[in-house]
Amino acid sequence: MSRGWAPHLSGGTITSAGEPYPGPGPSPQRAGAGPLTSAGRGRARAQVTAEEIGSQVALEYGQAMTVRVCKADGETMPVVVVQNASVLELKKALRRHVQLRQARQGGVQHLSWKYIWRTYHLTYGGEKLADDRKKLREYGIRNRDEVSFIKKLRK
């Protein structure tokens, strides 16, 4: 896990379904100084988005879960999605995570996600996550479970 990174949701402002943050407590957009913000520290760290703060709040209230996506090179990317997320929402959250990381660290600015999903698939417990509409829960994926990127075999 890279320094200064906070997991996030994809899609809408706060949740992967594009819905406003439903949880109790202050609105994530108005969250004050905390572990993710640079307020009161004298200097700004990496820009943290309202989306990332909202996802941390959702995690605290049990409305979201972290799915660790493991690449073939051993890198693990913690991605936050809502509890009832679909495979497609996980893919979108993964894409957003990679985009934010690239923007912060520099490097390759464009990846062809069409190529990535044509060449690789996600697996959990040896089972391909083939149906984008299926809920992660239906595959048995829970908080802090690991999902792997596996290269597709040619037919």
Q: Which residues of the chain have pLDDT under 70?
A: 1-46, 155
Q: What pLDDT score does 106 carry?
A: 82
Q: What pLDDT score does 45 carry?
A: 52
Structural domain containing residue 128? 28-151
Instruction: Give the CATH number for residue 116.
Output: 3.10.20.90
Q: Confirm whether 94 is domain-assigned.
A: yes
Q: Confirm whether 122 is domain-assigned.
A: yes
Q: What pLDDT score does 121 carry?
A: 95
Q: What pLDDT score does 105 carry?
A: 87
> What gap in Å lies between CA 84 and CA 75, rounded to an integer?
25
Q: What pLDDT score does 108 carry?
A: 75
Q: Residue 44, exposed/middle/buried by CB under 10 A (0-12, 13-18, 19+)?
A: exposed
> What gap in Å lies between CA 39 and CA 83, rounded to an integer?
30
Q: Confirm whether 15 is domain-assigned.
A: no
Q: Confirm whether 5 is domain-assigned.
A: no
Question: What is the torsion angle, in degrees rounded to the nearest 10, for the CA atoms of residue 78, residue 81, residue 87 and residue 89?
Answer: -110
Write the single-letter amino acid at 132.
D
Against a cut of 0.85, is the pTM above it?
A: no
Q: Confirm whether 43 is domain-assigned.
A: yes
Q: How many CB atoms lie within 10 A of CB 12?
A: 14
Structural domains of the chain, count: 1
Q: What pLDDT score does 46 carry?
A: 61
Q: Confirm whether 71 is domain-assigned.
A: yes
